[in-house]
Amino acid sequence: MLSHRPAPLPCVSLRGAGVDFDGRAALDGVDLDLAAASLTVVAGPNGAGKSTLLEVVAGTRPLSRGTRVGSRVTAFVPQRAGVSDRLPVTVRDVVTIGTWGRSTSPRHRGGAARETVAVALDRLGIADLSGEPFSSLSGGQRQRALLAQGLVGGADLLLLDEPTTGLDDESSARIRDIMQTEARRGVAVVCVSHDPAVLAVAGRVIRLDGGRIGSDTTASASASAGA
């Protein structure tokens, strides 16, 4: 007798999700399920609602209508850092913030937390900048520091907004590798990007247009279509 295992529950589910700005729908009627161990790239023209969708998935943007269900530990790396240049914090300080208040896990305590931070700094290739003021970093370096911050919290939902913008080829390749590694580790990775190299490694590509999902394809479906 065959046994059927139930499909795993999605990390986040949106149903009829809509967000209005000044009477205009930035998102309208979006239905979306995001699974663990996946790498999803959200693409589309400027003003399509990509960043708004990421904020809704993160739970930081309230819905005007529809529902969001999800209770995962989330790391949200925005395109621009919300850290004042006047704040006297080092790169290590910024990354360490990611370990605060996450859980009582041993990896977030004392020496273990410091080791977790050191590993993340090394993964992003910014260990040599750990003692530098965050305000002194270039835009691309700040982006890598914020991604390191997102990694140290042990999140199972990782959201990235244009993570390779302003980065050189080597740094971009490093970030693509990290996204793939985290997805293989079981994390649901969602990334807004126009970068063809990022789109090429996605397991799923969602294209938004006018606040609605225009297409939603998996890597296998895309490969079949191109065959």
Domain residues of the chain, as ranges?
10-72+156-164+186-219, 81-155
Contacts of 31 (CB under 8 A, 6+ apart): 14, 15, 16, 17, 213
Q: What is the pLDDT of residue 138?
A: 87
**147: confidence class by pLDDT, cuts 50, 70, 90:** very high
Q: 100, 101, 104, 141: which is closest to 121 by C-alpha?
A: 141
Considering the entire predicted model, what is its pTM? 0.86
Q: What is the pLDDT of residue 80?
A: 63
Phi, psi values for residue 28, rounded to 5°:
-150, 115
pLDDT at 1 over 50: no
Q: What is the pLDDT of residue 195?
A: 95
Could you tell me if 185 and 29 are in contact, meaning their C-beta atoms sit under 8 angstroms apart? Answer: no
pLDDT in tens, 130-142: 999 998 998 888 8
pLDDT at 225 over 80: no
Q: What is the pLDDT of residue 9?
A: 66
Look up the CATH architecture of domain 10-72+156-164+186-219. Answer: 3-Layer(aba) Sandwich (3.40)
Give the C-alpha separation, 109 to 205, whole Å: 37
- Strand duo 188-192 + 157-161: pairing: parallel
